[in-house]
Chain A
């Protein structure tokens, strides 16, 4: 048994050493939602480490103490039916642990389903994130712009991602900003997040959706509100409009790089269950109601609203704006916070 113990120690230290080389994204949050989850995870690890310790101590003690080579040859183990107090103990203690964890779970689940605390009074920036085989389309209805395979957001402003899919179920996951949620073809899911640090964060589709799943990565760039506004303005003036025909050919293309447009596909291809005037697809109308009950309809505002952060001068004038088809903009964006990579 000692052999295995020492091997395990050696092996654990090796694992810790190796993992030290690259950051653990889930435990390196850059926004309140991911921070809540990270705290929950660390708390549960601590609780579970306690459970493991108890089991391991008992295991080692019993193995060492009662091994056959140590006892006398004529030793006959006693007949034991059990002990109701001991058994009650190891029913009661786990119940207490599970109760504590249940409370933590329910609280944190409710917390991350809402707009993060401290940001409730701000109007969230709505971004529709739709997946198709095998890419991400991000539509900003308020700004009237659309990007493919990259997401730019302002810091310190709640972001409401509305997820849906043009094909198989996908799952949008930006581990440093928030937990993941499914994007499906017949309903819209909402994911709330806030980035409170500027930086570039990797996002991906975590749900297997066919051949190209591994390539469904996208960069999430959290930029200062001013830089964000400037970027939006630049896109509006320089990028082309997204026409229906081009959008269809985009959907049909398996892999595309980054794209930027000065209009969204929502006008001619609305999200499922979005009963706007442009609703064309009758087959969507019978989408089941019960799954939409927990979301209110968000009418698309006619004019973009100014957020209070728009007036804060907090930008680096040299900060380059990601443009299509900039493939590699990860390295030179993140001047202020370099923990990302």
Chain B
């Protein structure tokens, strides 16, 4: 391979990206060395097995990926803002919409959700950590290795360009000869293994690590949603693992699964992809429902309406999510019977989802609603997501879908579901739990400014797309002619995208501003909240709770505050914590090298790093971690310090 094939060349923007990557790397290295932070970084973050720190690292990565995916989005809207725009060529546009989809779903939404799960779930159930802390660190580093691998494709070798669904035969070596789709199969595979391990970890954590008295039907709704999501992960991700493995074999080793000759079957890929892909949507949406449930309940000062039906509806959604995959390709010619079946199962999902919407509305009824930033996002979610929901029902109708499929109508629909459903939720959750993790709130005034920009611009960006779809504009079109009449609405949409970007700039500025100026909280419960995570101090000590909580009611903290049902009754005992380990991060690094070598079919480095993976795994098996024990004296001192008392 020649060097000019190795690096992506010929595009000023790519050179700009390369330069910025190099500069950022140098800046980080110089900064860390200058401030002597290498040791701190290694000891406190890279080797950590603490669920809170791992959660923070997930969320930080997700924010960086949100920036990357957002830049992709702006470039796409700019390219289509006017007819026959020459800003991007077709190949570049194709790479950008592909990576936009992949990054936003797999490297932004998922890690953001998993990050919040990491921070919140063990606290909500009164646990010291997740069930397998070191496995949790492995999960994070595998995700991170996958994310870096995919992002590297932008400057080295070329990005995947066959859409995030990578339909065959388009994604085959015949029609997509660059290494882009090798990156696809390997980056997703590596981070997918991490996600699967997270799923298993959280199932065990939630089922086996709950504090005394925390019965299943007393669990906070976010924990419930995390449990159900983890179960979906455990059963959906193996399908992705297989699909990606077959893809890799087709592209690297000449197998014939999805090829056009020798019996290969392109439809098999579409089926496998969506058998994973549809449950994946619920993996990112259900925890979002959990977040909204917590926030709406907290800021209405009222318990969640219809708790049992909320749980049941999530279970029903999770089961149905495995029975609807074919609605992604009604137009593949299965005939009316099959399509009718999948139409009905798909529309059936709207019933439990509707139950949730009405339960949220009735949680607010007779409440005492305060309009904080997290609450604003949760409130905006209801009307916007409902539009996404009803258009989803419209799309579910197979016959009508023959007219919506592959059009901007579809694009508008899934952004109307995923942005209010997932993005609003993670931003709301970010604002809501920020003071828990860092001990101070994000500025409310800036937060509300950002909210209004984001909520209004979102509609300006995506509402016109419904009309563009009905006018006949398909998705993934890098250009269109003036006569089509698509111009004005696309321009409006681009204006909206700029507004969205501005909203996110305010949001990021708010983080900086609040770190500098926000008053520090003295109490662990700044929102007068209801669930257990607010019962410990903020920031949270490494051991979470000095005394194991004893739960007596559903909203444990609320009952402690207002119904006189105390949570902490025992006395302080020494606490055993797992010790840090550098092996997960090393494992992630070797997986990255392994993936990178396979992308370019460099067999010797691939074999060497493959052996490296086995060696690390073996050495982990031989490790005997005795952990560290925090003495009663240390706990007392930490608790005093966190309460602001002098020692």
Contacts and interface: CB of A to CB of B under 8 A. Distances in A.
Indicate if A touches B (C-beta under 8 A). yes
Given A102-B347, A179-B403, 9 more contacts: A4-B452, A7-B456, A18-B489, A21-B485, A48-B393, A77-B302, A83-B362, A185-B169, A208-B475
B368 A77 contact: yes
A280 interface: no
Nearest to B302: A77
A211 B94 contact: yes
Contacts of B365: 62, 66
Contacts of B300: 66, 77
Contact of A98 (B350, B455, B478): B350
Contacts of A8: 459
B369 interface: yes
B443 to A, nearest CB: 20
B487 to A, nearest CB: 9
Contacts of A171: 331, 405-406
B470 A169 contact: no
B364 A62 contact: yes
Interface in A250-298: 283, 286, 288, 291, 294
Contacts of A75: 368
Nearest to A45: B394
Given A26-B472, A171-B406, A175-B403, A211 B331 contact: no
Contacts of A303: none
B263 interface: yes
B463 A15 contact: yes
B400 interface: yes
A66 B399 contact: no
Contacts of B383: 55-56, 59
A55 B167 contact: no
B630 interface: no
Given A8-B459, A181-B331, A105 B348 contact: no
Given A77-B367, A185-B169, A185-B260, A212 B90 contact: yes
B265 interface: yes
Contacts of A104: 397
Contacts of B176: 210
Contact of B369 (A67, A133, A286): A67
B398 A109 contact: yes
B144 to A, nearest CB: 30
A167 B259 CA distance: 10
A188 B397 CA distance: 23
A37 interface: yes
A4 B478 CA distance: 32
Main secondary structure of the interface of B (DSSP, over half): helix
Interface in A59-75: 59, 62-63, 66-68, 71, 75
B393 A109 contact: no
Contacts of B396: 105
A4 to B, nearest CB: 7
A242 interface: no
A110 B348 CA distance: 20
Contacts of A51: 354, 386, 390
A327 to B, nearest CB: 12
Interface in A121-174: 133, 167-169, 171, 173
B407 interface: yes
Interface of A: 3-4, 7-8, 11-12, 14-15, 18-19, 21-27, 34, 36-38, 40-41, 44-45, 48, 51-52, 55-56, 58-59, 62-63, 66-68, 71, 75-83, 86-87, 90-91, 94-95, 98, 101-102, 104-106, 108-113, 133, 167-169, 171, 173, 175, 178-182, 184-187, 189-190, 202, 204-214, 283, 286, 288, 291, 294, 341
A24 B409 CA distance: 12
A291 B485 contact: no
Nearest to B472: A25
B402 A101 contact: no
Interface string B139-172: 0000000000000000000000011000101100
Interface of B: 90-91, 94, 162-163, 167, 169-170, 175-176, 260-267, 300-303, 305-309, 329, 331-336, 339-340, 343-344, 347-348, 350-351, 354-355, 357-359, 361-362, 364-371, 379-380, 382-383, 386-387, 390-391, 393-394, 396-403, 405-407, 452, 455-456, 459-460, 463-464, 467, 469-472, 474-480, 483-486, 488-489, 492
B456 A4 contact: yes
Contact of A167 (B175, B380, B463, B483): B175
B488 A44 contact: no
Closest 7 CB pairs of A and B: A179-B402, A22-B485, A168-B170, A82-B306, A189-B333, A48-B390, A108-B399
A213 B343 contact: no
B471 A22 contact: yes
A204 B472 contact: yes
A31 to B, nearest CB: 13
A286 B167 contact: no
A27 B400 CA distance: 11
21 contacts: A19-B467, A26-B469, A45-B394, A48-B394, A51-B354, A52-B386, A66-B369, A68-B369, A68-B371, A76-B301, A77-B367, A94-B355, A106-B336, A169-B167, A184-B266, A185-B266, A186-B260, A204-B472, A206-B474, A210-B94, A291-B267
A40 to B, nearest CB: 5
A98 B400 contact: no
B326 to A, nearest CB: 13
Contacts of A77: 300-302, 366-368
Contacts of B263: 283, 286
Contacts of B393: 44, 48, 98, 101
A214 B477 contact: yes
Contact of B361 (A14, A37, A58, A286): A58
B269 to A, nearest CB: 10
B267 A211 contact: no
Contact of A109 (B343, B359, B361, B403): B343
A82 B394 contact: no
B404 to A, nearest CB: 8
A206 B405 contact: yes
Nearest to B395: A44
Given A81-B307, A110-B336, A181 B382 contact: no
B333 A291 contact: yes
A101 B350 CA distance: 12
Given A40-B397, A109-B340, A179 B382 contact: no
A14 to B, nearest CB: 7
Given A45-B394, A62-B364, A167-B169, A184 B267 contact: yes
B305 A80 contact: yes
A37 B405 CA distance: 13
A210 B336 CA distance: 29
Contacts of A288: 265
Given A18-B492, A108-B400, A214-B477, A24 B471 contact: yes
Contact of B175 (A113, A168, A184): A168
Contact of A182 (B332, B351, B369, B485): B332
A252 B31 CA distance: 54
Given A55-B383, A77-B368, A206-B407, A186 B266 contact: yes
A107 B96 CA distance: 40
A105 B301 contact: no
A37 B306 contact: no
A210 B394 contact: no
B284 to A, nearest CB: 22
A25 B471 contact: yes
B355 A87 contact: yes
A180 B336 contact: no
B369 A36 contact: no
Contact of A179 (B163, B399, B470, B489): B399
A95 B354 CA distance: 10
Contacts of A186: 260, 264-266
The interface centre, meaning the residue of B91, B343, B368, B480 with most chain A CB atoms within 10 A of its CB, is B368
Given A66-B369, A167-B169, A82 B307 contact: yes
A213 B477 contact: yes
